[in-house]
Structure 1
């Protein structure tokens, strides 16, 4: 079978690596470069892997360029597959797959269709997700599901540990599913559009902490956006601080409560900040120069207020 891949981010690179190791016949790869604000990039590794395996590729191709490349391929394309690729693939391209055009999505489909599902799942305090291989359709993430597996989200998970769990599970799912794709012997189940929910794209500015929120909501925001994502942030002495890690903290019954006020500095642990209810102990932060600090080494006064 001949495969054309559309890949982006770590997921795309790892799927290219896995499918190369499994000797699938990849005839073209369209690589998407990460956005400028992203702290980790994988497009260079993907390009290097293509070069090492003599696979034709294009970086950041427009839809017109994609079609031109596909038109130049002299053989039939059985599968088009999208992994971590954030652009919608046009119907004209999808229709070039003689068997199927398939994509991946890490959410409990049909819920959380759209952008940044793992970030949103953590921000919203969900307790499970799933990894899915599904048919690409004109509507976002609504195609029939070829393979899926559910994954528990633990209270201690952050975006990194959750992504790693999802990636590992999806690799296992792909290894199990590839033989049936090669034999064109697979089934798919329909999604329920009545149960569907959607997520919007996130920008770095969306991560500002509202200290009037609950401690649980702030904890979820921090763990859902921590490095290498842009991060949940606040301001201390008019300077931006990105909160890398924190934990919920019960400060006792504060009837004189100022959300954002530092009430305790704990050596070697962090600083305790009041929320709309309870408190958060901020452990590590990144300053505006990109340096990582233990919070109690940077914020030393119980008169400080984070904005």
Structure 2
């Protein structure tokens, strides 16, 4: 069986390795050039391809006519998308004789769309996972082949959950491939009415509203904690970023909301009179000590 694979990020690397281990002929990998404006903390699909003599291209637009012609000539049995960042056109999907499938970082139909892990953590979910599903004209809307769940623990950041989802994606593909290669791909209904759809997030979405309850603020911190852009707040025109924090048992009935220093520790006082203990706070990328923050306050 021959596959054309659109892949990026850690999920792309691990799922490519699964295809190789299962003996799939990878005729072409389509990936992305790394964005110099982005923190690259993940593995490289292009590097993996070079190490294994797999052809790899990085077009800006997957609707490129030359790319379409190249894939047409390869006559793929399958097309896979593993954390590739663009939707693939229906005409391209139709080139796969046995179907085109995407690995999504949630338990579909929940959290269709962009950055599903970050959204799940932001909303206080206790579980997410990876879902292999058929690609259609709508995002994350096709029939489900298989999915694997992972827990989201109370103090997990999105980065930590992402590591679990990478393993779940690997397990999902490994277990599903034998049936797929034998021409017996499962088709489980993907009931969109029971799910949800979310768009992308931007760094500015990390601004903290200290009037909200501490759990809501903590979920925001967890959802965007480094290596993502981080949860932030502005004091006197300076933007402070929370690098590390946890919920605190400190009662704060007499403290104003926002950043505060108590007993040489930094806290974020929230609207329900509870607080976050901020273990690492930064300003312009440099750590801020409790003494320095007290002087600024």
Q: Superposition pairs for residues 90-239 of structure 1, below 5 Å?
A: 90-239=89-238
Q: Distance in 2 between matches of 1:297 and 1:15?
A: 48
CA separation of 1:251 and 1:75: change in aligned 2, threshold 3 A? closer
Q: Deviation per CA, 1:79-102, whole angstroms, max 9, x where unpaired?
A: 100011121100011111110100
Q: Give me the TM-score of the superposition, normalised by structure 1.
A: 0.89
Give the 3-state SS of the residue equivalent to 1:63 in structure 2. coil
Q: Is the 8 A contact 1:208 1:233 kept in 2?
A: yes
Q: Distance in 2 between matches of 1:133 and 1:27?
A: 21
Paired positions, count: 295
Alignment of 1:69 with 2:67, yes or no, is yes
In structure 1, the gaps of 5 or more residues are none
Q: Deviation per CA, 1:45-81, whole angstroms, max 9, x where unpaired?
A: 322222222222211342342x423423544211100
Q: Deviation per CA, 1:218-245, whole angstroms, max 9, x where unpaired?
A: 1111111111111111124432221111
Q: Give me the TM-score of the superposition, normalised by structure 2.
A: 0.91
Residue 21 of structure 1 deviates from its aligned partner by 3.9
Give the 3-state SS of the residue equivalent to 2:31 in structure 1. strand
Residue 271 of structure 1 deviates from its aligned partner by 0.8
Q: Deviation per CA, 1:225-278, whole angstroms, max 9, x where unpaired?
A: 111111111124432221111111233361x44211415143xxx412211011
Give the 3-state SS of the residue equivalent to 2:246 in structure 1. strand
Residue 214 of structure 1 deviates from its aligned partner by 1.0
Residue 165 of structure 1 deviates from its aligned partner by 1.0
Q: Distance in 2 between matches of 1:62 and 1:11?
A: 21
Counterpart position of 1:271 = 266
Counterpart position of 1:299 = 293
Q: Is the 8 A contact 2:214 2:276 kept in 1?
A: yes
Q: Distance in 2 between matches of 1:206 and 1:160?
A: 17
Q: Is the 8 A contact 2:130 2:168 kept in 1?
A: yes
In structure 2, the gaps of 5 or more residues are none
Q: Superposition pairs for residues 72-83 of structure 1, below 5 Å?
A: 72-73=70-71, 74-83=73-82
